[in-house]
Structure 1
Amino acid sequence: MFILSNSATPLYVSWQRDIGFSQSTLTWIFAVYIVGLLASLLVSGPLSDRIGRKPVLLPALALSLISCAIFLSASSVTALIMARLLTGISVGAIVSCGMAAVADIAGPHRKKLAALLSSSAMVFGSGVGPLFSGIVAEVMAAPIIPVFSVVLALILVSFALVGKMPLHSRRQAGPLVRVPGVPRKAFVHLILAIAVFAPGLSGTSFFLSLGPSLLYEITGNVSTAIAGILVFLTFASATGVQFAAQRFSPARLLAIGVASTAMGMVMLFSAVTISSSVMIFVAATFIGAGQGAGQLAGFTLLNLIIPSTRLAEANSALSVGAYVPAATLSLIAGRVSDATSIETSAITLSVILIIIAAFSAAAIFLFRRRIKQ
């Protein structure tokens, strides 16, 4: 599912050429994905805690198949928007319900392992998608059909896997749909996780939507393979830092996340200032590490203190808190890019996220004892 989420990224340059749309439209296409994801998070997390994991996961996989079918035949902005919307809805269910299903299968004695495996799968799949599609687009004149045919086949396999998962049905009292939240004892943990996860996700969102275009503006010529490698590097870094730091405490992971994000935005600011393509890749590495560490810290904190009966809802709350600012900042970046230049957009985003990272670091320091409890 996460391979699907970003497979279209290196292909947008081709769609822009064939269909014709602006950078602002491109960020709106990305934002529609976020809208679908957020809408799904508001429903899928609390719903799966009450009726079970499979009744939510299987419909989500079905929607992703429809999304693949639309991508295979997309010839308009409307089709791209619809495909991205359905992808967002599907991914939202996987983020909340799927990650909770991994925790359910792992059991109470392997909560940190469950958080590591589900969180790393999320970022690694997000990186493999654009790398795969970028390479295919580089070697094939018509990459759309092979890319999304492979993804469609993977999702069909997922149906079989989900069907075999040892997950029990559940029927709990309470409303089926409500705004996701966490118990009062976990509120500070949730806020700190969002304060680190959101800036990192905002940075990676920029690279997903406008990173290849920025690289093109600096170098004058970027292949789809290079664009895919840039996005893959971001998420490979997010994956690597999670395995490298898996034994660290959540508090230390939060500190690594905020420091990496801040350093990444400094590198991005510098890359644009001196027109260095190499530093863009360095920035992507740091920003990916920031998202990976913050994401792992957040899901680990929730896995450790939230009961299984509310875990999918808690995952939804964390994801909503991170994706809302990420979508907002992506839209701002797109508008600034259209109004001025993509370089100005990158500089503006860098300054904003460096300031946010500073406040997040202060919050971690103030509440560090609460995190360790």
Structure 2
Amino acid sequence: MWLAAWPVVAAMALSNEPAPLYVLWQERIGFSAATLTLIYAGYIAGLVLTLSLAGSLADRYGRRPVLLPGLLLGLAATALFITADSVAVLGAARVLSGVSVGAVLSAGMAAVSDLAPEGERKLGGLIASTSMVAGAALGPLLTGVLSQTLPHPTVTVFVLQLVLLLIAVLLVLRMPLPRGAAGAGRPGERLPLIPSAPRAHRRDLLAGLAVFAPAITATGFVLSLGPSLLAQLLRTDNRLISGGLVFVLFAAATGIQFAVRRQQVPVQFALGATLTVAGMAALISAVVLTSVALLLAAAVLAGFGQGAAQLAGLSTLAASVPAARLGEANAALTAGGYLMAGTLPVADGYLSDAAGLTTGTTVFGIVVAALAAAGALTVLPRSRDQAS
């Protein structure tokens, strides 16, 4: 079960490794904040489109036939990052990395649950969820350290990423994974274009999305525009600092999941929403007061919010959805969250170009906080009823 989490860690490391390098690429290639968020949106597009099918494919044909192509595409994306010298190549690398992450998340998190000991599916959900955010924390940390201390900053970290992905390929080849889940659909049956959960569990899926989507959107801002905002506040492009900002965010998202794993799902949902709102309040205060300390606090709180909301959503699905549909259900939760996480930061990027980064960040924070609060008001009464 623990080894099955490694491909998810490796893929998620690739997903966030470019974040500290965006400022460097902006200087070298020359592009605006709006273009930067479009590049990030390319990753989201590849991810969401892949999630639409990868979960169902993993349920029907097994986890391995989805994991291996996903990891190979990750290797191709990594090679493009190494040679990126234009917006087009950078955008292509981000799209491919999104496709890779979509495939690996769909099949990989379900594989962790498949290999969980009997009666420990909740533990499997915890490990699947934390492997996602642990990888997201590892990537920018590696980038920050290696690109700041070694030559060729946009190359070194991706050479190491090739090694991480190759190890994941070897592990997948040796994992005792089932070929496919019974009841996942007949070979000739049409695959769903939009991932979902079985009808009886769709309200569980929607409940998870109501809090998880705003939470991951908050962290999406830090991934796309956070380094630029940090550079504006500190007037520096130090990649160790910007990589550390993203690392702290996802380290917080990892740590809180272990801290609240024994809490009831309603408590986890409430924490996710409350911490997301607090993170957005800190973000708005950071740009108004030009405070690096508040920006760091915003990153930590946003990470806490995503971690708690993600654990609640994935644990709910792992405990209730049959194994034959779990990959698709996980994909639906992830895709729905990332869809919002891709849309709002892009809109904020264009607003920031037109009205300034301070105005764009303030509007973004208010919108995300309102969505998180509305999600909590929708989910918590129902969650309490189920708990009782």
Supply the distance in 2 between the matched residues of 1:219 and 1:69 (Cα, whole angstroms). Answer: 32
Correspondence 1:58 to 2:73: no
Amino acid at match of 1:80: L
The one of 350, 366, 371 equivalent to 1:351 is 366
Tell me what 1:23 maps to: 33
Correspondence 1:110 to 2:120: yes
Supply the distance in 1 between the matched residues of 2:325 and 2:206 (Cα, whole angstroms). Answer: 17
Amino acid at match of 2:90: L
The one of 89, 92, 114 equivalent to 1:79 is 89
Amino acid at match of 2:336: G
CA contact (8 A) 2:150 2:156 kept: no
CA contact (8 A) 2:34 2:350 kept: yes
Tell me what 1:217 maps to: 232
Instruction: Return closer, same or farther for 1:163/1:371 CA change in 2, 3 Å cut-off.
Output: farther
3-state SS of the aligned residue for 1:166? coil
Tell me what 2:132 maps to: 122
Supply the distance in 1 between the matched residues of 2:283 and 2:369 (Cα, whole angstroms). Answer: 11
For structure 2, the 5+ residue unaligned runs are: 1-10
Supply the distance in 1 between the matched residues of 2:79 and 2:376 (Cα, whole angstroms). Answer: 44
Supply the distance in 2 between the matched residues of 1:78 and 1:342 (Cα, whole angstroms). Answer: 25
Amino acid at match of 2:374: F
Tell me what 1:2 maps to: 12
Supply the distance in 2 between the matched residues of 1:268 and 1:278 (Cα, whole angstroms). Answer: 10
Supply the distance in 1 between the matched residues of 2:239 and 2:43 (Cα, whole angstroms). Answer: 21
Tell me what 2:357 maps to: 342
CA contact (8 A) 1:333 1:346 kept: yes
Post-superposition shift, 1:331?
0.7
Post-superposition shift, 1:177?
4.5
CA contact (8 A) 2:266 2:380 kept: no
Tell me what 2:319 maps to: 304
Post-superposition shift, 1:222?
4.1
| TM-superposition CA deviations, 1:222-250 (whole Å, max 9, x none) | 41100001011110000010011111111
Supply the distance in 1 between the matched residues of 2:173 and 2:337 (Cα, whole angstroms). Answer: 30
Post-superposition shift, 1:142?
1.2
Supply the distance in 1 between the matched residues of 2:16 and 2:147 (Cα, whole angstroms). Answer: 14
Structure 1 runs of 4+ off > 6 angstroms?
none
CA contact (8 A) 2:50 2:99 kept: yes
CA contact (8 A) 2:16 2:136 kept: yes
Supply the distance in 1 between the matched residues of 2:42 and 2:128 (Cα, whole angstroms). Answer: 24
Supply the distance in 1 between the matched residues of 2:331 and 2:244 (Cα, whole angstroms). Answer: 29
Post-superposition shift, 1:359?
0.8
Tell me what 2:55 maps to: 45
Tell me what 1:295 maps to: 310
Correspondence 1:251 to 2:266: yes
The one of 174, 189, 198 equivalent to 1:183 is 198
Supply the distance in 2 between the matched residues of 1:160 and 1:216 (Cα, whole angstroms). Answer: 39
| TM-superposition CA deviations, 1:143-190 (whole Å, max 9, x none) | 222210100011001111001111121274132343211122212211
| TM-superposition CA deviations, 1:299-326 (whole Å, max 9, x none) | 1000000000000000111112111111
Supply the distance in 2 between the matched residues of 1:108 and 1:23 (Cα, whole angstroms). Answer: 49
Tell me what 1:132 maps to: 142
Supply the distance in 2 between the matched residues of 1:5 and 1:325 (Cα, whole angstroms). Answer: 17
CA contact (8 A) 1:250 1:371 kept: no
Post-superposition shift, 1:365?
3.0
Tell me what 2:286 maps to: 271
Tell me what 1:34 maps to: 44
3-state SS of the aligned residue for 1:75? coil
Correspondence 1:148 to 2:158: yes
Supply the distance in 2 between the matched residues of 1:38 and 1:357 (Cα, whole angstroms). Answer: 21
Structure 1 residues 174-183 or 349-358, which shifts more? 174-183
| TM-superposition CA deviations, 1:332-371 (whole Å, max 9, x none) | 1111111111111110111101111221121123312344
Structure 1 residues 99-108 or 289-298, which shifts more? 99-108
| TM-superposition CA deviations, 1:111-145 (whole Å, max 9, x none) | 11111111111111111111111112211341222
| TM-superposition CA deviations, 1:12-63 (whole Å, max 9, x none) | 1111111111111000000000000011101100111111110110011110
Supply the distance in 2 between the matched residues of 1:270 and 1:330 (Cα, whole angstroms). Answer: 18
Tell me what 2:6 maps to: none
Supply the distance in 2 between the matched residues of 1:170 and 1:135 (Cα, whole angstroms). Answer: 41
Tell me what 2:108 maps to: 98
For structure 1, the 5+ residue unaligned runs are: none
Structure 1 residues 164-173 or 15-24, which shifts more? 164-173
Amino acid at match of 1:186: H
CA contact (8 A) 2:24 2:237 kept: no
CA contact (8 A) 1:189 1:371 kept: no
CA contact (8 A) 1:50 1:176 kept: no
Supply the distance in 2 between the matched residues of 1:177 and 1:156 (Cα, whole angstroms). Answer: 31
CA contact (8 A) 1:262 1:357 kept: yes
CA contact (8 A) 1:46 1:178 kept: no
Supply the distance in 1 between the matched residues of 2:386 and 2:221 (Cα, whole angstroms). Answer: 30
TM-score, normalization by structure 2: 0.94
Tell me what 2:346 maps to: 331
Supply the distance in 1 between the matched residues of 2:332 and 2:26 (Cα, whole angstroms). Answer: 34
CA contact (8 A) 1:47 1:177 kept: no
Amino acid at match of 1:252: V
